[in-house]
Amino acid sequence: MAELIESQMGNLICQREENRVVLDCYGVHYQELNARVRDLAKLGYKTIELKNVNGQRYIGTGIASKDLKIRVFGTAGNDLSAFMDGPMVEVFGNAQDAVSNTMNSGKVIIYGDAGDVIGYGMRGGKLFIKGRAGYRVGIHMKAYGNQVPVVVVGGTVRDFLGEYMAGGILVVLGLEKEPGEKLVGNWVGTGMHGGIIYVREEPERHQLGKEVGITDKIEPKEMETLGAIVQEYCADFSVNFEELITSSFFKLFPVSTRPYKKLYVY
Amino acid sequence: MRMVQPDFKIVIDQERCRRCKRCVFNCGFGALEFRDRVVPKPENCAGCQRCVCFCPEQAISVELNPLAFRPNDNWAPWHIKAIYRQAEDGGILLTGMGNDKPYFNILDHLLLDACQVTNPSIDPLREPMELRTYLGSRPERLEFENNGKLRLKTSYPSLLKVEVPILFAPMSYGSISYNAFHALCLASKELETLMFTGEGGLPEELYPYGDHIIIQVASGRFGVSAEYLNVGVGTQIKIGQGAKPGIGGHLPGEKIPKHISETRMIPEGTDALSPAPHHDIYSIEDLRMLIYALKEATGYKPVCVKIAAVHNVASIAAGVLRAGADQIYLDGFRGGTGAAPFITRDHIGLPIEIAVAVVDQRLREEGIRHLGTIIAAGSVRCSADAVKLIALGADAVAIGTASLLAMGCHLCQKCHTGNCSWGIATQRPELVRRLDPEWASERLVNLVRGWAYEIKEVMGAMGINAIESLRGNRERLRGLGLDSETLKIIGVKPAGAAMG
């Protein structure tokens, strides 16, 4: 098997031991890189470490495997873990746009910032970001059956958070925040018709879409769910949980599950 | 008082009627009642003719209700009725199926060529005629190795083979019933052609037909999972739809029962909102990102991008192919829909014949015609329409409305109500049950086989024995009664102009 892998690896230098393999991605095109990652996953490697990643796209995209771990060192390119079903992806650096696009299950942890349109159409799994995220976070997220997608952003987010949100949970913590910086941008939850957004700072009414309601009353059961999510987040990023969970959270929710019901004449 | 009068009158011949109630049972709209005899409720009648078709005594006729509006060439009855309806409810007027307004149809003003004497025609009954078409991207040049024996060196991208250049257009499971969807799968397999799923995902029981299916990914991402992406032979990104360019889809919660919910992977009874903009696509570069995400997720299966025919379609199409699409699906403004506002259905877009001609021309001018296949759709009504579209530059056509008609649809334009008496555009189990997938697929197969024979006939008449030689072959078309500007735009000579 070793020779086989060696011969397939082309210009990727690799070290391996047991179930773990390390690839040097310096200057490697994403197409080759991802083909190798898929080959290695098929060969049964459980941990794949990618060194010197510099914007290569589609890492983890379309991979269905419950116990695979992909560790990315560097900057992960667009569409990290898109359509992914099961694996755990850690990024020791920043990630670019469209992380977890239409992800079905699995977990993505980013020890840095993430770009725009993250969690688009995400149906399950978790996406934890230590730092900030950009515009259009969690658009069209949806829950189905037991699958409840969760996105937690440690820093702040920009406009269009949770637009057209149909399910799942979005949490924006604002742990990293400049003085005067807003936690969320404008047009929050426009077209929202399902799911919940938790924020740790009360947005002004004009920042919210007309389909969104706001309250600081969080039901005990919801608090339990939120607590478990935040606890997991704190464990991943070594943040003090007690301090965080006792701070005030606001819940943004859809005022109607059918916002456009009365739009049409039949 | 009722401001909006029924469109139809249901006339029952009470002498012929033998009170079997079959009509009452068959009406999905509740337009017939039985009280000691059949009593029409014309205000509910959609004019779908189901009762007429099923009356064993031919005792029913459905007629237009002649409203005596004072004749007015400016205010058509439909303007007046629409105003009454909107004045009542104050919303966007919805309708189903394609544009029914009397727009000038260029296809009806194009004539095909035939051979006489000097360039003999071919008899398709005796000689082979090739309708087989390969869809996908071709390499720019072919390189060969010569080690005593010539070998192709260029790696050829995967192409999709269809035995007839007629595909089944995307109609989502949700907008049409399971049985209608199933019939399309059966027919695609039998005909060795392809169907598109539309945005509603693919029911798991139909995965075995995957070799004949191109699955769709659109802005709502309904039913899109890693498994789904790999079931089909290719993926389609829907940007726009001919009946409603620039607006999205909206399947109301009432039409999301259990099985639709499982296929779309959304909770039962919630609205399935699929907005027109993909909020992750704002440029050709963004489109490229999604195209390659799908390629990465599917092991580089071909990607088709569906756009509505709009005024700038040629440069958009060029951008789409440069973004990495292998097929471009053009949907003209007469294309059908499960539900669209009247204003978009009837007033936005371009006819498919113009779109195909200008896109083909533009791609040739840019030297990128080989980058992708053009699939033309948007009211292909007969095999002649298909032949003309191919001669204008399409590689294949897709039929939606025509396939529904083959399954029994009578174009009543009430798809959006979910009451389809024919069991096609409905999710009501008692209505769905009446459409037998085997029966419907047989009719689809018959239709496409019939069209294929006709296409071979006219190809033979033109002295062409492979559909490839017809593609973009505008020399075999002539325009009758088209103005010179239109002829220039579609690249066709006027009738009477000689060859060369």
Are A164 and B289 in contact (CB < 8 Å)? no
Q: Residue B237: phi, psi to the nearest 5? A: -100, 120
Tell me the C-alpha distance between B381 and A218, whole Å: 57
How much is the pLDDT for B431? 97
Are B226 and A194 in contact (CB < 8 Å)? no
How much is the pLDDT for A3? 52
* Domain presence at residue A21: yes
Q: Where are the beta strands (DSSP E) in chain A?
A: 14-17, 20-24, 47-54, 69-75, 85-92, 105-110, 126-129, 150-153, 166-172, 194-199, 212-215, 250-254, 264-265
* Domain presence at residue A105: no
Q: Do A132 and A256 reside in the same domain of the chain? A: yes
How does DSSP classify residue B130? Answer: B
Q: Do A88 and A207 reside in the same domain of the chain? A: no
Q: Is pLDDT at A259 greater than 90 in this prediction? A: no
How much is the pLDDT for A257? 80
* Domain presence at residue A160: yes
Tell me the C-alpha distance between A49 and A17, whole Å: 12
**Chain B nearest C-alpha distance from A241 (Å):** 33
* Domain presence at residue A100: no
Structural domains of chain A, count:
2
Tell me the C-alpha distance between A155 and A131, whole Å: 5
**Chain B nearest C-alpha distance from A20 (Å):** 23
How much is the pLDDT for B250? 80
Query: What is the DSSP code string of B139-162?
Result: -SS--EEESSSEEE-SPPPP-EEE
Are A85 and B226 in contact (CB < 8 Å)? yes
Q: Do A127 and A252 reside in the same domain of the chain? A: yes
**Chain B nearest C-alpha distance from A64 (Å):** 7
Q: Is pLDDT at A128 greater than 70 in this prediction? A: yes
- Full domain range(s) for residue A20: 1-95
How much is the pLDDT for B110? 98
The DSSP bridge partners found for residue B61 are B11
Nearest to A165 by CA among A134, A188, A199, A133: A188
pTM: 0.95
* Domain presence at residue A179: yes
How does DSSP classify residue B264? Answer: H
DSSP reduced 3-state for A240: coil
Q: Do A142 and A71 reside in the same domain of the chain? A: no
Q: Do A120 and A244 reside in the same domain of the chain? A: yes
Q: Where are the beta strands (DSSP E) in B426-471?
A: none
Model confidence pLDDT, tens digit, residues A51-108: 999 999 999 999 999 999 999 999 999 999 999 999 999 999 999 999 999 999 999 9
Architecture label for domain B8-91:
2-Layer Sandwich (3.30)
Task: Identify the CATH number of the domain in which residue A214 sits.
Answer: 2.160.20.60
Q: How confident is the model at residue A37 (pLDDT cuts 50, 70, 90)?
A: very high
Q: Residue A9: phi, psi to the nearest 5? A: -75, -5
C-alpha pair distances (Å), B169 with each of B238, B337, B372, B379: 12, 11, 18, 10
Q: Do A52 and A148 reside in the same domain of the chain? A: no
Model confidence pLDDT, tens digit, residues A237-256: 999 999 999 989 999 999 98
Among all residues of chain B, which has the CA nearest to that of A140?
A: B220
Q: Do A63 and A185 reside in the same domain of the chain? A: no
How much is the pLDDT for B1? 87
Among all residues of chain A, which has the CA nearest to that of B263?
A: A144
How much is the pLDDT for B403? 98
* Domain presence at residue A221: yes
pLDDT per 10-residue tile (average), chain B, 500 residues: 91 96 97 95 96 97 89 92 91 92 96 92 93 95 91 89 98 96 98 96 96 96 93 96 86 87 89 86 96 96 97 98 98 93 94 98 97 97 98 98 98 94 96 98 98 97 96 97 97 93
State the span(s) of chain B assigned CATH 3.30.70.20. 8-91
Tell me the C-alpha distance between B353 and B468, whole Å: 18
Tell me the C-alpha distance between A107 and A117, whole Å: 17
**Chain B nearest C-alpha distance from A248 (Å):** 31
DSSP reduced 3-state for B331: strand
How much is the pLDDT for B157? 81
* Domain presence at residue A247: yes
Give the ipTM of the model, two decimals please. Answer: 0.94
Interface test with B, best of A31, A103, A140, A263 (most B CBs within 10 A): A140
Architecture label for domain B133-494:
Alpha-Beta Barrel (3.20)
Q: Do A188 and A68 reside in the same domain of the chain? A: no
Tell me which chain A residues have a C-beta less than 8 angstroms from the C-beta of B220.
121, 140
How much is the pLDDT for B273? 85
Q: Where are the beta strands (DSSP E) in B209-321?
A: 213-217, 234-238, 249-251, 272-274, 303-308
Tell me which chain B residues have a C-beta less than 8 angstroms from the C-beta of A101.
280, 293
Per the document, the length of chain B is 500
* Of A95, A128, A163, the domain-final residue: A95
Tell me the C-alpha distance between B496 and B262, whole Å: 58
Among all residues of chain A, which has the CA nearest to that of B265?
A: A144
State the span(s) of chain B assigned CATH 3.20.20.70. 133-494
Cα of B415 vs its chain's centroid, Å: 14
Place of tokens 């900057």: A75
Model confidence pLDDT, tens digit, residues A149-207: 999 999 999 999 999 999 999 999 999 889 999 999 999 999 999 999 999 999 999 99
